[in-house]
Amino acid sequence: MLLLLYILNFIGISYSFNGERSNENRSFPRATNGEQFPWDKLRLPDWIIPVHYDLLIHPNLSTSVFTGFLKTEVTVRLETNFIVLHSKHLEITRALIEERNPKIQGDLKQLKILEYPTHEQVAFLSADPLLVDKKYFLSINYIANLSDGFYGLYKSTYKTKDGQTRLLVSTHFEPTSARMAFPCFDEPYFKANYTIKIRREEQHVALSNMPKVKTRKLGNNLVEDHFAETVKMSTYLVAFIVSDFQSISGTTSSGIKVSVYVNPEKLNQAHYALEAAIKILEFYEQYFGIYYPLPKQDLVAVPDFQSGAMENWGLTTYRETSLLYDPETSSASDKLWITMVIGHELAHQWFGNLVTMEWWNDIWLNEGFARYMEFISVDATYPELQVNDYLLDTCFTAMGRDSMNSSRPISSKAENPTQIKEMFDTVSYDKGACILHMLRNFLTDEVFQNGIIHYLKKHSYRNAKNNDLWNSFANTCSEEDFASAKYCYTKSQASKNIHNCYVREHFDVTEIMNTWTLQKGLPLITVEQNEKRIKIKQERFLKGILPDDPLWTSMQTGFLWQVPLTYITSHSKSIGRHLMKNQSDTIELEEDVNWVKLNVDMNGYYIVHYEGNGWNNIIKLLNQNYTIFSYKDRANLIHNAFQLVSAGRLSLDRALDLTRYLQHETSNIVLLKGLGYLEGIYHMVERRNISDVTKSLKQYLLQYFKPVIDRQTWSDEGSVSDRMLRSNLLQLAYDLQYPPCLQKANELFGKWMGFGGKLNNIPSDVMKTVYSAGSETPTGWNFLLERYKVSVSGAEQTKINSALASCKDDANLARLLELGMEGNVIKTQDLPSVIYRVSMNPAGQLLAWNFVKKNWSKLLEKFSLGSFSMRTIILGATSRFSSKQELEEVKLFFASKQEISQLRAPQIALENIEKNIKWLERNLDILTKWILENLQ
């Protein structure tokens, strides 16, 4: 058999374990030297498996070049004469191979090197066959430039107080950029162990996934750090950093050393992150029943960082604003954000690192879980942050994206690097978190926790797929559990521990959850209540596309969810439950009721429409005694009403009528939700320059919400919820040009500027509003820009950036955009947010769009096509457009850029503009009439 396989390989025929046949009739690509490349697929062949990487790397900060030597141990599963690895922008100077034989010193044999940059692959050809079940060492020497972007091994800089520029290098490999630092099997399935050595200058510090075990002096101011061997992991989790950072450290109750590394001048901002990381790491060890498997966890604030953070095992990296907390300039929302990001990245140490999705189509198994665990962990460790209140907004955001036809299933096909990058979106993160929350509510907390423990234990150091997760919830027992007599569930026992109402019903977790992960969108549940009978129907919920649209029927065909419904009624304080499996169903109650409310506390991922007098009854109830519903139910009702308006299922005046009770609302979360919709409508008509409606709506908002605005103090007092309400309300009052707000903001800014910005007398929660007021004058705008340059607080810089983008002066807005493009004063990482903020400003909307069009090629040089940054730019620059002329202009621009034809972001942008156009066409007259009727 071995001889036959060798002959077949020699004549160009080979087989892989997935049964795929490769022969000379296939059209193989050409390598860079013109020869035939031996592999034609994006995914690597599966018959060579990495076991261990021994990597020595020397990033030279003076020359911006790095050299590497890699020795990779591989196992051969099918006889072959070539090895294909990933490699991008690496110049491979030599490649050798030797068989691993402990008894005999192997001969090093030279390999022929072929490169195919289109697939970011390199092939190593051997004159002799590589034999099955043999282990080989592949040795590679290479050299490359440090990356100028945010992927691979890239350069970063920061400025000291005295103006010096300091250099460092950091890595970011997820999802497909480890290949930019060393040749590797850069797919999550190919897990291996790593031993890393880093050469550096003596004044620097080197960090990697594992602790340093020794340092060798090499002379010429060079040293070589050796790090302990890693656990088995995927390539995208490898990380190393060389910098002059300093750290503070602490230890968890289980002995894990936790350190926060940062620019030395910001070390005083690292204390909160250290405290939070220790508390959350300890929580996860208890919750998952699995000790953190590494001896240390480093958290590093990287000055140049495209995303929010990255979960490299043992060496998590963060944008500075996601890790550093400055008590003087960080607001309540900043603190909440930092805590949640740390909770997210530490959750990944189990979800993603310990158990990794098999392929990127299931990235939600990493990101959806980490997103959801943010809420569970922060609620347990910092209850005062009231984090669960913001799970509502997470699900509202997901529904907004999912209710458009351009959405996608949670588990979606993704093959090339651009498609893979696009998977890191609202669907994977937010929808993933929300369906997990629905499942937890369905199964109970205990069953849910036991299920994920079983999932993590069963698949530790391995890979998993969707069904592996669902099977873990159906059977939470492991051999270890039986051996130790631990409490667990078998598949047959599981239903007995679910809410009582489900015991009588047959259900299959896999069958239920596949309807939420394998099809896009979400259901609309229509309710018709008649005494003790509730008739329910489900259909796909779509915004902007009405039932009379010609495409409506085709967009509904084939969609069906198994929906875990919950409900309360006028005659029952207990929660009713019903698993809806069909297009229509009936719920029989024990007695007649006056009203019913579905999706209790918004624990489910669906929209509800109350037909007949349903909405009228709800509006009446809210006006009579709004506390009859929980605050989460009230937020849910407001959200549903305005979503149904966008779908053409509810008249705008009914949704606006529902908000009238808000003058009595005591929940900050609900008040902000209602205000958010009203403010959104205001900005839409303001940007369209519909002056009469804008003026009337502004008058209504100030008249109706004046009491709650006037109650706000210009301070940092109160709970997190109180403080976030204050920030939002005062910013709204400023946007509406409310005289008392303008006067106070200008007064505070004047005092602050009078002291040269040195006396920090502006409360952090109102800092953004005060800075916005100051930015309206040329002197104030320039003063803020100078303050931005010298500030050592990322939180303050973010608030200044937002204020600079809110001014009405075209020249200053254009200057701000150019500063973002230059990347000196405003770092390149912040350019997408600058474009977004300028586009949100009515005075800057067209300016931002024209800037994107003019600089499209330059933007693609700075940010990869499928990245979060490019999505922010595309969607930010277009999201407020609402005219047919703007729609055609955006269509023409996208059509002229062939490279974005397969991206989802342009599709989302166009559908969003179409939705805005239809919303105004249907609702502008109704809005005008309602405001006039309700103005006093």
Q: Which residues are catalytic?
A: 345
- Angle, alpha carbons 923-926-928 (nearest 5°): 105
3-state SS string for 314-335: CEEEEEHHHCCCCCCCCCHHHH
506 is in an annotated binding site: no
> What is the CB neighbour count within 10 angstroms for residue 892?
9
CB 830 within 8 A of CB 821: no
Beta bridge partners of 247: 261
Please report the sign of the dihedral spanned by the C-alpha atoms of residue 677, residue 683, residue 689, residue 694. Answer: positive
Say which DSSP state 31 is in.
Answer: -
Burial class (CB in 10 A: 0-12, 13-18, 19+), 16: middle
Integer CA distances (angstroms), 16 to 20, 44, 77, 78, in order: 6, 11, 9, 7
Q: Residue 37 in 3-state DSSP?
A: coil
Strand pairing category for 222-227 and 212-219: antiparallel
Q: How far is Cα 680 from Cα 241, in angstroms, rounded to an integer?
A: 43
Residue with tokens 């092939």: 123
What are the Cα distances from residue 288, in Å, to 250, 376, 764? 22, 12, 36
* SS3 label, residue 549: coil
Who contacts 791 (Cβ-Cβ below 8 Å, separation ≥6)?
Answer: 329, 797, 800
Q: Which helix (H) or strand (E) holds 74?
A: strand 65-76
- Strand 65-76, strand 48-60: pairing: antiparallel
> In angstroms, rounded to a whole number, what is the distance separating the alpha carbons of residues 676 and 682?
10
Beta strand residue intervals within 570-687, DSSP E = 572-580, 584-588, 596-598, 607-610
Q: Are 57 and 197 in contact (CB under 8 A)?
A: yes
311 is in an annotated binding site: no
Identity of residue 919: W
DSSP-assigned beta bridge partners for residue 83? 124
Q: Report the distance separating Cα 255 and Cα 507, nearest Å.
A: 43
Q: Do you find a cis peptide bond into 175, omega within 30 degrees of 0?
A: yes
Q: With contact defined as beta carbons under 8 Å apart, do 372 and 437 qualify?
A: yes
Please report, as a single letter, which amino acid is at residue 250. G
Distance CA 305, CA 88 (A): 20
CB-based contact 509:484 (threshold 8 Å): no
Q: Which two tokens stand for residue 365?
A: 């198994």
Phi first, then psi: give them for residue 747, nearest 5 degrees.
-65, -45
Please write down the long-range contacts of 849-855, taking CB distance under 8 Å and 24 or more positions apart: 849/877, 849/878, 849/881, 851/814, 851/817, 851/877, 852/877, 853/893, 855/821
Structural contact between residues 775 and 804, judged by C-beta atoms closer than 8 angstroms: yes
Question: Per this entry, what is the length of the chain?
Answer: 936
Question: Beta strands of 729-803 (E only): which ranges?
Answer: none
Residues 6+ apart with CB under 8 A from 647: 403, 524, 541, 542, 543, 544, 545, 546
User: Does 571 carry a binding-site annotation?
Assistant: no
CA 302 to chain CA centroid, nearest Å: 18
Rounded Cα gap, residues 590 and 587, in angstroms: 10
Q: What's the rounded Cα separation, in Å, for the pair 798 and 803?
A: 9
Please give the annotated binding residues, written as ranges.
344, 348, 367
Please give the annotated binding residues for Zn(2+), written as ranges.
344, 348, 367
